[in-house]
Amino acid sequence: MKKTFLGLLMCLVTLAGYTQQSYTVNKERVTMQTEVEGALSLYVHKENNTYRYFVSKEGTFYELKNTQNQSAKYQFEYKEILRELTSDADISVNINRTTLTLTSIKKVVIAYNKAKDSNYVYTNIHFQMGYRLGVMGGVSNNVYTYNPNNVMAPQITAELEVYNKLAPASGHSAFVHVRHNFTATDYDYSATQLSINYRYKVVNNETFKLYGQCKIATFGYKSFTKAYAIEDGGIITFDEDGFDLDIPVIFGVGADIKLSDNMFVTLQYTDIVAMFYDANDEFPVDVNLGLKFTL
């Protein structure tokens, strides 16, 4: 089983849900998503992996183009448009070095808006971090550990979920679990684990959420005792403990039911199937019940 620093790679959350509107530009109706709003605004139209960029000032739209002439030389028309539209302000970005990409054009537009208004603050209109905090208790037979008697042991879990507040319909989120597994009778195993996880909500409405989730990376400390019978009827025990860093890729499911505006009851069945862990041939039981709060 690989233990590598790559296990710290953050579960990347692509939280889609951009708002699009239609505008008329040179008698053409174009659907765009807004990237920057201000005295000079920036818009993007995407179709079949092709991007078109537009800016607007005082209600007039301009398409930013970079066409080729008959000699196949690029004309850089977009630079002339940007120079003209920003000529009434001293901006900090060199337009000559601007490329026809979202990142590069966005720098020009934001610099212009700041030059026109000293109080201007760029706000990402697609993404705003939202948080949910959960606390759960449950039981697990820890099928990915040494558990010869298939003992059910108690556990507690704290969860911090991160999602996009500006895209409530998006099913994507990332979350961190901090879990502690307690010892039980005839099962001397305990562990504390921090895990990075990804979640996708198959059903995602205000009152009920049903989702699948994946544990990507873990870091933790565990302590356990293994007991082996020997031929003369005696028992030999081995104590083991230590830290580990893993990329287990373990799948689970869960559901949240709304109790009030900011509170949900959450039920999770985790650690069902693992790609890179070997189970101990028992049926996995890892059930947790608790409350989750929107912060």
pLDDT tens, residue by residue, 26-54: 888 888 888 999 999 999 998 888 899 99
* Candidate from 31-45, 58-72, 74-88, 116-130 with smallest mean pLDDT: 116-130
Dist. CA 92–CA 107, nearest whole Å: 9
User: How high is the pLDDT of residue 7?
Assistant: 37
User: How high is the pLDDT of residue 209?
Assistant: 96
Task: Return the half-sphere exposure (C-beta side, CA atoms, 13 A cut-off) of residue 78.
Answer: 26
Q: What confidence tier does 92 reach under pLDDT thresholds 50, 70, 90? A: confident
Q: Residue 123 is encoded by which pair of tokens?
A: 């706000």
Is the whole-model pTM more than 0.75?
Answer: no
- Tell me what the mean pLDDT of segment 184-202 comes to: 95
Choose the CATH number for 128-294 among 2.40.160.20, 3.40.50.720, 3.20.20.70, 3.10.350.10: 2.40.160.20
User: How high is the pLDDT of residue 36?
Assistant: 93
- Residue ranges of the domains in the chain? 20-116, 128-294
